[in-house]
Chain A
Amino acid sequence: MEGIKVLMVDDEVDFLETLLKRLKKRGLEVFGVKNGQEALRTLHEKPFDVVILDVKMPGMGGIEVLRHIKEQFPDIEVIMLTGHANVEVAIQGMELGAFDYLMKPMDIDELVFKVEDAYKKKILKEKKHCKKV
């Protein structure tokens, strides 16, 4: 799917840059930031469809960022990414409205499919809202 706008939030700079490059090659419009504050600022400035969010980050933790995103931008779908297996954090995230929870290292194809599925969900929701009006 072309043109899906994706924001990546991860403090591991190398990982972030590699992933941005690969996702760009797949036709996604990607942008990367290193922490939660930057993420929220960027979301206010530009439109995005999907956010890929690293859960374990110093400073504002991933769950906090997720909470803020869902409060301020409820239509944006968030995919949580992490190197740690933690059932509680995963479920908490999904209860807060995350679209899914993936563990690193993940298959790049799998990630792209998730982004597409999340985008589709967003589109369908939007259509539904339009109808109601």
Chain B
Amino acid sequence: MLLNALKKLKGLFSSKSNKEEQHDPREIEELRLAFQIKYHHFKLLLNANNKALELMTQIEEYLKGHKFFGMTLIRSIVTQIATNVFQMINNLNQIAPQKYVLLYDKFKEIQATLNDLLSSQSLPSQGPLVISLKEVTKDHVDITGSKMAHLGALSNIEGINVPDGFVITSYAYKLFFEFNELHEEIPRRLQKANISDLNSLLELSSELQQLIIKAAVPPEVADAIQREVRSLAQKNMEVSLRLAVRSSAIGEDTGEASFAGQYRSELNVAPDNILDAYKSVVASKYSLTAMTYRYHHGIKDEEVDMCVGVIRMLDAMSSGVMYTSEPLGGNGDLLLINATFGLPKAIVDGSVNPDVFKVSKSRPPKLIEKHITQKTVMYTCLEEEGVCRTELVEEQTLNPSLSDQEVEELAELGLKIEEYFGTPQDIEWLKDKKGQLWILQSRPLKLISHKSQRDLKVLEGKKVLLKEGVTASPGMASGPVFIVRQDADALRFKEGSILVIQQALPRWAPLLSRAKGVIAELGSITGHLANVAREFRVPSIFGATGATSILKEGLEVTLYADLCAVVEGIEEGILPEVDSPKIMKGTSVYQTLERASLLIVPLTLLDPDSPSFHPKNVKTLHDITRFCHEKAVKELFEFGKSHKFPERSSKQLLCESPMQFWVINLDDGFSVESPGPYIHIQDIRSIPMKALWEGMVKVPWKGPPPLSTKGFMSILLEATQNPDLEAGMNSSFAVKNYFMISKNYCSLQSRFGFHFSIVETLLGERQQENYISFQFKGGAANLSRRVLRAQMLSLVLQDLNFRTEVREDALFARIEGFEMGYMEERLRALGYLIIHTRQVDMVMEGPRQVRTYREKFKKELKEHFGIEFYNGTGGH
């Protein structure tokens, strides 16, 4: 016994005798340098970790589906995450050389899979360059685009007249691009550009279109096209052949995204100019409207092959658009026809207020309602080539463009087509000079479910500025008027304004994502812009004559699209809660992100103390970041304890007396060199540690809260059943409370009264690198009380602006990116909470205690540290 006592005594003095041995100052300096290097790599690892975690949060945000994104964004995020993860592995390797090299292999595996996912795939290489329309079926849709596939199908229906023609396929398109190296050049320019800036987008659009127009059509494609044109000419020798050249892009008109009017059509083209017309339509793939549209719908550029339909041009007596169902709800028993004189361009481009016919969907269909309007403009074919715009003379303008009988005939065709495709259709039709009805196009009609606000009482007492037109897109909106007459105006368009225009031209479509509402003097419910407005759910009134003169620039107005009325002033409306559309869901870009995120975001390595926490079990990039972080901390800790130099070993913290806390100095955390076993709190230079400590010691802990018998019994029960509460812990890591510090870094691993917590923080002048992370688990009471305590803590931390997550009785909290003073305040609060929530789990009987303690702690934090709380939603 005495011998032992003597040995112990000797041990007490042994540090002194070591000191007398005089360690080589050079060796000490080497050790200090080794610490510095390891710590520097550790810091770099932490930075990379934060970056990676932040990017993963971004992925989760995008997966919610409400925000637009494209492939470029996905590639950028994934690349950044991958580089940061690789950095972490590198830095871990610097801290503990050669120990974890299996991580590199695992990383490579995941990276290879990600690469495959992100690079575009190519179609089978060979196929016909042109297909005649009569031979096209719905199965050809991948090489003809759905517009032409539909037209081909239509041409085979009994009683439906479709003009002759042929399709220039996606094979031809690919050949055209490859022949001119556009398949590399264009993606290169797209990547370089800044898509969110309208100005540079305009420039880019023009650049890319020029590239295509100047390119040469490969000889095989030119030959194939010209052969088809000759064959068309021969079919009808009396008339001079003219052609309509129309876009039919892959993905266009699938009902998901209508691509309304985003591409160009060339009308009344002479056969000699067919190749130029082809290039012009292909170039329109990069029109401003098309590019913004694709971006907003998350459609990959490389997926859109521009197929082109060439059909015989017919001159029109009258023409228009037919919807085989009402797009804005209604009973589903009405068919709608818009008609005007001349070519359908006038309606489709929103330059005219057409005649409106409503027909019942009975067999045979019956005309129910008609509105004949003043049609002031008309497009017809010119003799030589092209289309001309004619102003219509007074008497003509008020004639109906279709007789009642013709309306019913047309409706019958519409019903046939709807029946064939099984879903309501948006049909472009034409009546030729001989009175024959032709179908030019048919695509799925997008229906909107909507509760119409048709109650005119809403307008009582308000200053009605305008009550005209048709509801192109339903709803209500308020904002300042912004009149756009030219492209220059469009560039200045203020977000949140009410867009006021003369014609409902498709080229204003890019503005719709920023407008609260749209009012157009001309145009109809069936025009391209109306389609876009409905897709973006922007309330719109078209055909509101006089809008641009009546509504003054900047005037605050409210538009009631369902009532076709505009009133002065901002009105609060009882808007039906529209669940923000999950616009991205179902798009191929979204699916790509989903698949990529499965390799990145999920955490499968959960328990650092388990033997399965090993590189061989890494499945995702998040696993790698977790592994590297945990191991890096462990390695530094071991390094801090494993060497024989007392100068650099862990020191016991001294306040007035020795505390149950030990400190390892990783770099410059002490202001003096301390050879002995202690370090005084005054000699600590670590900014985050000081803040944390201040919070911990501010108010002496009064001991555990008074227990009810139930509470006490719950502890006893738990203590006898929970192996973690055993006295002898195997890992020396967890027995004492350890600080690891540098001037800007602090981590605290501690165990208090049966619970276990880790604080890690970096705090310095680099605001964006600042963060605090807190983990907490356990307790002596039973599970439900521990869970309640975790929930209570989570709420208090949320009040402090932390992001939190509770998993059973474990709490994870994080805050980052704020400046030093703010973060120091959070650390003090955290220190306080760590000490004073000790054993509070014992009294957590139910939700009432959660509320009481939450308020108690907030009050105390305000009192002791002056922290202000801003009650957001209050309660939970």
Chain A positions within 8 Å of B, measured between CB atoms, are 83-88, 90-91, 94, 100-101, 103, 105, 107, 109-110, 113, 117, 120-121, 124-125, 127-128, 131
B111 touches which of A87, A100, A127 (Cβ 8 Å) = A87
A83 touches which of B47, B191, B766 (Cβ 8 Å) = B191
Q: Which of B73-81, B352-360, B550-558 contacts A (4 or more CB under 8 A)?
A: B73-81
Contact A85 B78 (CB under 8 A): yes
Residues from chain A with Cβ under 8 Å of B78 in the complex: 85, 87
Q: How far is the CB of A78 from chain B (nearest CB, A)?
A: 14
Q: How far is the CB of A113 from chain B (nearest CB, A)?
A: 6
Q: How far is the CB of B104 from chain A (nearest CB, A)?
A: 9
> Does B227 reach chain A (CB closer than 8 Å)?
no
> Does B606 reach chain A (CB closer than 8 Å)?
no
- Residue of B whose beta carbon sits closest to that of A127: B33
Contact A94 B90 (CB under 8 A): yes
Q: How far is the CB of A88 from chain B (nearest CB, A)?
A: 6
Bound together, the chains give a CA A103 to CA B111 distance in angstroms of 18
B40 touches which of A107, A109, A120 (Cβ 8 Å) = A120
CB interface residues, B 101-148, toward A, < 8 Å: 111, 114-115, 118
> Does B72 reach chain A (CB closer than 8 Å)?
yes
- Can you add 13 more A-B contacts, CB < 8 Å, to A100-B87, A124-B37? A85-B80, A87-B83, A87-B114, A87-B115, A90-B86, A103-B79, A103-B80, A105-B194, A109-B766, A110-B768, A117-B47, A131-B26, A131-B30
CB interface residues, B 744-773, toward A, < 8 Å: 766, 768-769
> Does B710 reach chain A (CB closer than 8 Å)?
no
Bound together, the chains give a CA A113 to CA B114 distance in angstroms of 29
The contact sample of 8 A-B pairs, CB cut-off 8 A, is A85-B79, A87-B114, A87-B115, A90-B83, A91-B111, A113-B766, A117-B44, A131-B26
- Residue of B whose beta carbon sits closest to that of A128: B33
- Residue of A whose beta carbon sits closest to that of B107: A91
Contact B769 A85 (CB under 8 A): no
| Interface size bracket, B side | 20 to 34
Bound together, the chains give a CA A38 to CA B79 distance in angstroms of 29
Against A, the Cβ 8 Å flags (1 = close, 0 = not) of B184-197 are 00000001101000
CB interface residues, B 9-58, toward A, < 8 Å: 26, 29-30, 33, 36-37, 40, 43-44, 47
> Does B679 reach chain A (CB closer than 8 Å)?
no
> Does B829 reach chain A (CB closer than 8 Å)?
no
Bound together, the chains give a CA A127 to CA B87 distance in angstroms of 23
Bound together, the chains give a CA A52 to CA B640 distance in angstroms of 35
- Residue of B whose beta carbon sits closest to that of A97: B90
Contact B33 A124 (CB under 8 A): yes
Residues from chain A with Cβ under 8 Å of B766 in the complex: 109, 113
Residues from chain A with Cβ under 8 Å of B75 in the complex: 85-87
Chain B positions within 8 Å of A, measured between CB atoms, are 26, 29-30, 33, 36-37, 40, 43-44, 47, 72, 75-76, 78-80, 82-83, 86-87, 90, 111, 114-115, 118, 191-192, 194, 766, 768-769
Q: How far is the CB of B735 from chain A (nearest CB, A)?
A: 33
Contact A101 B33 (CB under 8 A): no
**Would you list the 5 A-B pairs with minimal beta carbon distance, nearest first?**
A85-B75, A85-B79, A85-B76, A101-B83, A90-B83
B768 touches which of A109, A120, A125, A131 (Cβ 8 Å) = A109
- Residue of A whose beta carbon sits closest to that of B75: A85
- Residue of A whose beta carbon sits closest to that of B194: A105
Q: How far is the CB of B86 from chain A (nearest CB, A)?
A: 6
Residues from chain A with Cβ under 8 Å of B87 in the complex: 94, 100
- Residue of B whose beta carbon sits closest to that of A117: B44
- Residue of A whose beta carbon sits closest to that of B193: A83
Q: How far is the CB of A102 from chain B (nearest CB, A)?
A: 9
Contact A87 B82 (CB under 8 A): yes
Residues from chain B with Cβ under 8 Å of A86 in the complex: 75, 79
Instruction: Give the one of A84, A120, A127, A131 with max B CB within 10 A.
Output: A84
Contact B72 A85 (CB under 8 A): yes
Bound together, the chains give a CA A83 to CA B78 distance in angstroms of 14
Bound together, the chains give a CA A94 to CA B107 distance in angstroms of 13
Known A-B contacts A83-B192, A85-B72; A124 and B36 likewise in contact (beta carbons under 8 Å) = yes
Q: How far is the CB of B109 from chain A (nearest CB, A)?
A: 13
Bound together, the chains give a CA A57 to CA B381 distance in angstroms of 51
Bound together, the chains give a CA A120 to CA B115 distance in angstroms of 33
Residues from chain B with Cβ under 8 Å of A125 in the complex: 37
B37 touches which of A94, A110, A128 (Cβ 8 Å) = A128
Bound together, the chains give a CA A87 to CA B44 distance in angstroms of 20
- Residue of B whose beta carbon sits closest to that of A93: B83
Q: How far is the CB of B507 from chain A (nearest CB, A)?
A: 29
Bound together, the chains give a CA A101 to CA B766 distance in angstroms of 19
Residues from chain A with Cβ under 8 Å of B44 in the complex: 117, 121
Q: How far is the CB of B379 from chain A (nearest CB, A)?
A: 44
Bound together, the chains give a CA A110 to CA B111 distance in angstroms of 25
Bound together, the chains give a CA A12 to CA B30 distance in angstroms of 44
Contact B79 A87 (CB under 8 A): yes
Contact B191 A84 (CB under 8 A): yes
Contact B40 A91 (CB under 8 A): no
- Residue of A whose beta carbon sits closest to that of B36: A124
Bound together, the chains give a CA A86 to CA B191 distance in angstroms of 11
Residues from chain B with Cβ under 8 Å of A107 in the complex: 768
Instruction: Give the one of A85, A91, A107, A131 with max B CB within 10 A.
Output: A85
Bound together, the chains give a CA A85 to CA B87 distance in angstroms of 17
Contact A94 B83 (CB under 8 A): yes
Bound together, the chains give a CA A127 to CA B34 distance in angstroms of 10
Bound together, the chains give a CA A120 to CA B36 distance in angstroms of 10
Bound together, the chains give a CA A38 to CA B867 distance in angstroms of 56
Contact A103 B76 (CB under 8 A): yes
Q: How far is the CB of B629 from chain A (nearest CB, A)?
A: 18
Instruction: Give the one of A113, A124, A127, A128 with max B CB within 10 A.
Output: A124
Q: How far is the CB of B620 from chain A (nearest CB, A)?
A: 15
A100 touches which of B33, B72, B83, B191 (Cβ 8 Å) = B83
Instruction: Give the one of A83, A86, A87, A91 with max B CB within 10 A.
Output: A87
Bound together, the chains give a CA A85 to CA B90 distance in angstroms of 21
Bound together, the chains give a CA A110 to CA B86 distance in angstroms of 18
Contact B83 A91 (CB under 8 A): yes
Bound together, the chains give a CA A39 to CA B86 distance in angstroms of 27
Bound together, the chains give a CA A120 to CA B766 distance in angstroms of 15
Residues from chain A with Cβ under 8 Å of B90 in the complex: 94
Residues from chain B with Cβ under 8 Å of A103 in the complex: 76, 79-80
- Residue of B whose beta carbon sits closest to that of A112: B766
B86 touches which of A94, A124, A128 (Cβ 8 Å) = A94
